[in-house]
């Protein structure tokens, strides 16, 4: 059956909980860095399912791994041993920082955060947590306690965990000011804030957090859900600042489009969990693990990181030259293929114009266009995307100012 856009819209608007900001596009298919809607219109995909399709759509390694696993077995609970899970774990610990070799497997980045929160609270026997202004760690109740935006928190304030204190991102003094730090279990931080607007920290910030944590017996949890897996040109974004966290959370692209989340920590942290204390029915299922290993194999064997470095450098230069000169652009920023264009106006009309012209992209707050293109993107595709964005800004300047 081939539904029209109007038919899909009618059904989704009627039956789907109204929790998503919907865009006027119905996607039918995708290959590489492009997707097509139900009418056959082509778009360059800088949205990638909010950063999930890190290797684009239909990446051969992932497709083949999923197909083979489907023919073998899809589900084997983690109380049973499974080859797909074992192979994924072996590959995973080969690319995580030294001594971070104990993993909890779940189904999303938010679940990875939930596991990290419970682990650090139990491991330290302390109840206080430091998180950052502008942070986004998810919307489940535990993750929501670490997410800064009031618009997500206000309806649930009376049931959110109260032990979290927020400090200014990028400000080491704010972490230490007025606190007995030996009373704190952990610091949670995104090495680059994603939903916060692609905010990069000062050069010494993460190293300073590591030193504060070491000095005061605090665990450092680095949220790599959006910034990890090669997104910034290194396997993990925190590597740009030469630190080693105590815990890493992973999500989005790790399953190649199959829901998956991973929490990785030192064994002495993860070993605080008793049998049955924190489990997931679907976590670590063979299908997700097969896809996950294919993703990690691609990142380590297919020159993906080199492409991110080269095209990322090219794209941010291009955006600065072509887009950054617009009178409605405040700043272009980012690292690798984790990019943002901050505007002097609200983004909505410019975003919708870009969609009309064939570019799907994301946003943050009210004024930021956020871009998470596939890590396989070519310079030609990057140029076309920047041209569409420039045309969208030109249209806005001509018609709306």
Cα(144)–Cα(256) distance, rounded to whole angstroms?
25
Does residue 236 surpass a pLDDT of 80? yes
Where do the domains of the chain lie, and which CATH numbers do they carry?
A: 5-59+303-400 (3.90.1150.10), 73-301 (3.40.640.10)
Arithmetic mean of pLDDT, 329-353: 98
Arithmetic mean of pLDDT, 183-211: 97
- pLDDT band, very low/low/confident/very high, at 111 (cuts 50, 70, 90): very high
3-state SS, residue 11? helix
- Integer-rounded Cα Rg, in Å, for the chain is 21
Strand order in the sheet with 359-360: 27-31, 34-37, 42-45, 359-360
Does residue 197 surpass a pLDDT of 90? yes
Give residues with Cβ within 8 angstroms of 210, minimum separation 6. Answer: 220, 243, 244, 245
Arithmetic mean of pLDDT, 169-181: 96
Of 72, 104, 73, whose CA–CA distance to 88 is shortest?
Answer: 104
3-state SS, residue 140? coil
pLDDT tens-digit series, residues 43-61: 999 999 999 999 999 999 9
pLDDT of 343 reads 98
- pLDDT band, very low/low/confident/very high, at 400 (cuts 50, 70, 90): confident
Instruction: Give the rounded distance of the alpha carbon of 6 from its chain centre.
Output: 31
Average confidence score pLDDT of the chain: 97
pLDDT of 2 reads 87
Does residue 1 surpass a pLDDT of 80? no
**Which class for 111: exposed (0-12), middle (13-18), buried (19 or more C-beta within 10 A)?**
buried
Give the pair of three-digit tokens for residue 96.
Answer: 């995580």
pLDDT tens-digit series, residues 238-286: 999 999 999 999 999 999 999 999 999 999 999 999 999 999 999 999 9
Instruction: Give the rounded distance of the alpha carbon of 277 from its chain centre.
Output: 27
3-state SS, residue 246? coil
* Helix (H), strand (E) at residue 356: helix 348-357
Of 51, 9, 60, whose CA–CA distance to 31 is shortest?
Answer: 60
Instruction: Give the rounded distance of the alpha carbon of 294 from its chain centre.
Output: 18
In 3-state terms the chain splits into helix, strand, coil percentages (rounded to 5) of 40, 20, 40
- pLDDT band, very low/low/confident/very high, at 401 (cuts 50, 70, 90): confident
Q: Please check whether residue 262 is in contact with residue 105, taking contact to mean a CB–CB distance below 8 angstroms.
A: yes
Q: Percent of the chain scored above 70 by pLDDT?
A: 100
- pLDDT band, very low/low/confident/very high, at 21 (cuts 50, 70, 90): very high
């Amino acid at each position: 059956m081939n539904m029209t856009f109007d038919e899909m819209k009618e059904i989704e608007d009627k039956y789907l909980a109204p929790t998503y900001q919907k865009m006027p596009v119905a996607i039918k298919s995708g290959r590489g860095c492009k997707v097509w809607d139900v009418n056959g219109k082509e778009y360059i995909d800088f949205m990638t399912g909010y950063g999930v399709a890190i290797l684009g759509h239909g990446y051969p390694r992932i497709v083949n791994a999923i197909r083979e696993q489907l023919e073998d077995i899809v589900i084997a609970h983690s109380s049973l041993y499974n080859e797909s899970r074992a192979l994924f774990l072996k590959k995973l610990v080969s690319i995580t920082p030294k001594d971070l070799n104990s993993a909890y497997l779940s189904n999303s980045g938010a679940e990875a955060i939930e596991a990290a929160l419970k682990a650090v609270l139990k491991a330290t026997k302390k109840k206080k947590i430091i998180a950052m202004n502008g942070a986004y760690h998810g919307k489940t109740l535990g993750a929501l306690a670490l997410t800064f935006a009031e618009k997500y928190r206000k309806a649930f304030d009376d049931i959110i965990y109260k032990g979290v204190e927020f400090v200014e991102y990028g400000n080491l003094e704010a972490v230490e000011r007025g606190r007995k730090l030996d009373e704190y279990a952990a610091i949670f931080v995104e090495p680059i804030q994603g939903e916060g607007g692609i905010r990069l920290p000062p050069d010494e910030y993460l190293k300073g957090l590591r030193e504060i944590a070491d000095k005061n017996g605090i665990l450092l949890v680095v949220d790599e859900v959006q910034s990890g897996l090669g997104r910034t040109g290194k396997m993990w974004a925190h590597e740009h600042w030469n630190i080693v966290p105590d815990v890493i959370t992973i999500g989005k692209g790790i399953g190649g489009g199959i829901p998956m989340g991973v929490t990785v920590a030192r064994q002495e942290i993860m070993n605080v969990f008793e049998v049955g204390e924190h489990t997931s029915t679907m976590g670590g299922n063979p299908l997700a693990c097969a896809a996950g290993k294919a993703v990690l194999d691609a990142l380590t064997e297919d020159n993906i990181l080199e492409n991110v470095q080269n095209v990322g450098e090219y794209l941010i230069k291009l955006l600065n030259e072509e887009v950054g000169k617009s009178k409605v652009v405040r700043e272009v920023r980012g690292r690798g293929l984790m990019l943002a264009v901050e505007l002097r106006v609200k983004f909505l009309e410019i975003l919708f114009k870009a969609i009309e012209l064939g570019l799907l992209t994301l946003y943050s707050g009210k004024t930021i266009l956020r871009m998470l293109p596939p890590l396989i993107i070519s310079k030609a595709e990057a140029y076309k995307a920047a041209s569409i964005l420039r045309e969208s800004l030109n249209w806005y300047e001509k018609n709306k100012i």
